[in-house]
Structure 1
Amino acid sequence: MLKLFKLFNNKRLFILLITLVMFIVLMGFSLGQRKNLSWPENFLRDTTGFVQNLFYKPAGYVAGLFQDIGNLHDLAEENKELKILAAQYARDKAQYNFIKAENENYKKDLHFTKAQTDLYNYEYHIANVVSVTTEPSNNTLVIDLGAKDGIRLNMSVTSVEGLVGVISNVSNFTSTVKLMTMMDIHDPNSQPPIAATVFNKEGDTFGMIESYDQQTGMLMMNKIPAGDPIAKDDIIISSGSGGVYPRGMTIGTVQEVKTGDYLTSTAIIKPAAGFQDWKELFVVFTEERAE
């Protein structure tokens, strides 16, 4: 019995040694430089690759999905920032255009006031238009200068292009301007007529602008004496006579000259101002009114 037990133990030891030798031989084959793998190695490698492919691909898809979700979030944030930048750019562009246009207007205003001051030594106070009334019987506008700014009744108001009207009402902070489109010789509430002459013909030409034709949009210059050299395309300006309108204010351009009764003529004048939607106008301060 003891011999059988020893033989059995020796067999186990023998099998263990044989297994160890085979393992060492197999490791030698695996670590050696060979062109071809043994079939156990091929089987093991293929099995391992199949299992890895079975588990790694879905894991890669899941990881890619989470990465795509992260990228979409980043893209949404980037789009949000781009929209904000686009809105800011549009706002800044609009503000730039507004400031640019405003500066151009100021340059034009400065050139106008300097040229007029050099010519007649008047003061021109810039006024912003507050409101406009376009009713035929009350064609007026309101400016943001009043008595506190030295505004007085019958002061002339002009645009860069030409004469607009006169101050008809004054409060502390605002004033009402009656436009030349309200001029009517038959209306006692109309603004005073304008003593006018022709630019560069001041000593030879004279007439009175007394009315405005609502149908044609033209001013009527009446009482032009016989032999007056006034002609088509002449520039009409105020003569300064009468003490209401300062000398040299541009009024308009002659469109036609018609011979009237009593050896006088009438000139049809296209207003220079155009009576547009003004934003800024000028109140004219003459030396005797500039206090």
Structure 2
Amino acid sequence: MRLFKLFNNKRLFILLITLVAFIVLMGFSLGPRKSLSWPENFLRDTTGFVQKLFYKPAGYIAGFFEDIGNLRDMAEENKRLKILMAQYARDKAQYNFVMSKNEELEVALKFTEAQRNLYKYEYHIANVVSVTTEPGNNTLVIDLGSKDGIRLNMSVTSTEGLVGVISNVSNFTSTVKLMTMMDIHDPNSQPPIAATAVNKEGKTFGMIESYDQKTGMLLMNKIPVGDPIAKDDKIISSGSGGTYPRGMTIGIVEEVKISQFGLTSTAIIKPAAGFQDWKELFVVFTEERVE
């Protein structure tokens, strides 16, 4: 019994000493000091080392996964940008096409309105389907046919000038024989064009009968002596003969030559039409052919 009591007193004594030491230690920790005690330094250094040992690799791992996430976001952003670039390129091309088409239609509209006001003709726009440039067969095919009212020998023009005449017609397409096939010695050639000069109607007259393949010029023959035709005159169809409507632009006079015997003259004419790179042309409907 005494031993048990002594043992209890000893435990109480140790607890008391421990409490006092703890209070003293707390006093040192809370009180104003210039330096930490070695146990505190040891504890702080140990804690910092452990944090550095575990937190730094953890930071690398976290940063690695964050970089992966950023790369994924960048990839998605690049994908969206590529799609936008493709859409922009497509829209830009479409815009350019529409603008070009509008410009062509504006030119065509002004042309047809001006011609209609002058001669009351109708101009039916036609797309060029194909072009043949074989020697002796300079023709092209348009997407208008008999169902559209197209008939043989109708004139075909561009916005610049006369191109040729309809030489063959099917239901949905027609063949145009170009002025570059004009040859006075060829019975299958395009018919000659009775022509005159602008502001000299009634004074100037001649027949455009052939095309010089070497020079690319039209020849206007049978011009009578004393005719006032001159260089830089604008030549148009006179309407005589009925094949070609009056007032169709043909070209510009480059030179006038007197024939060998001095009875007539020949005018060298540069065609107004370029005879290449056509996309659209116009078929001329005169009053008796309008349907």
What TM-score, normalized by structure 1, do the two folds share? 0.96
**Deviation string, structure 1 residues 199-253 (Cα, Å, up to 9, x no partner):** 1111110110000011111101111111111111111100000000000000001
Q: What is the percentage of aligned positions where both structures have the same residue?
A: 84
Q: Name the residue aligned to 2:284.
A: 284
Once residues 130 and 63 of structure 1 are traced to their aligned partners in structure 2, the CA distance between those partners, rounded to angstroms, is: 66
Q: Do residues 274 (structure 1) and 274 (structure 2) align?
A: yes
Structure 1 residue 17, shift from structure 2 partner: 1.4
Q: Name the residue aligned to 1:27.
A: 26
Q: Name the residue aligned to 2:39.
A: 40
Letter in 2 for 1:266: T
Q: Name the residue aligned to 1:65.
A: 64
- Once superposed, which parts of structure 1, at least 4 consecutive aligned residues long, lie more than 3 Å away? 2-9, 31-36
Q: Name the residue aligned to 1:261.
A: 260
Structure 1 residue 288, shift from structure 2 partner: 1.1
Q: Do residues 120 (structure 1) and 119 (structure 2) align?
A: yes
Q: Name the residue aligned to 1:96.
A: 95
Q: Name the residue aligned to 1:130.
A: 129
Q: Name the residue aligned to 1:52.
A: 51
Residue segments in structure 2 that go unaligned for 5+ positions in a row? none
Structure 1 residue 6, shift from structure 2 partner: 3.7
Structure 1 residue 3, shift from structure 2 partner: 4.2
Equivalences for residues 56-205 of structure 1 within 5 A: 56-205=55-204
Once residues 86 and 161 of structure 1 are traced to their aligned partners in structure 2, the CA distance between those partners, rounded to angstroms, is: 39
Once residues 277 and 169 of structure 1 are traced to their aligned partners in structure 2, the CA distance between those partners, rounded to angstroms, is: 21
Secondary structure of the residue aligned to 1:172 is coil
Once residues 65 and 28 of structure 1 are traced to their aligned partners in structure 2, the CA distance between those partners, rounded to angstroms, is: 46
Residue segments in structure 1 that go unaligned for 5+ positions in a row? none
Structure 1 residue 57, shift from structure 2 partner: 0.4
Report the RMSD for the aligned CA atoms in angstroms.
1.3
Structure 1 residue 277, shift from structure 2 partner: 1.1
Once residues 97 and 76 of structure 1 are traced to their aligned partners in structure 2, the CA distance between those partners, rounded to angstroms, is: 31
What TM-score, normalized by structure 2, do the two folds share? 0.96
Once residues 207 and 33 of structure 1 are traced to their aligned partners in structure 2, the CA distance between those partners, rounded to angstroms, is: 124
215-224 or 24-33: which moved more?
24-33
Structure 1 residue 9, shift from structure 2 partner: 3.5
Structure 1 residue 4, shift from structure 2 partner: 4.7
Q: Name the residue aligned to 1:206.
A: 205
Q: Do residues 252 (structure 1) and 263 (structure 2) align?
A: no
Structure 1 residue 44, shift from structure 2 partner: 1.0
Secondary structure of the residue aligned to 2:235 is strand
Secondary structure of the residue aligned to 2:287 is coil
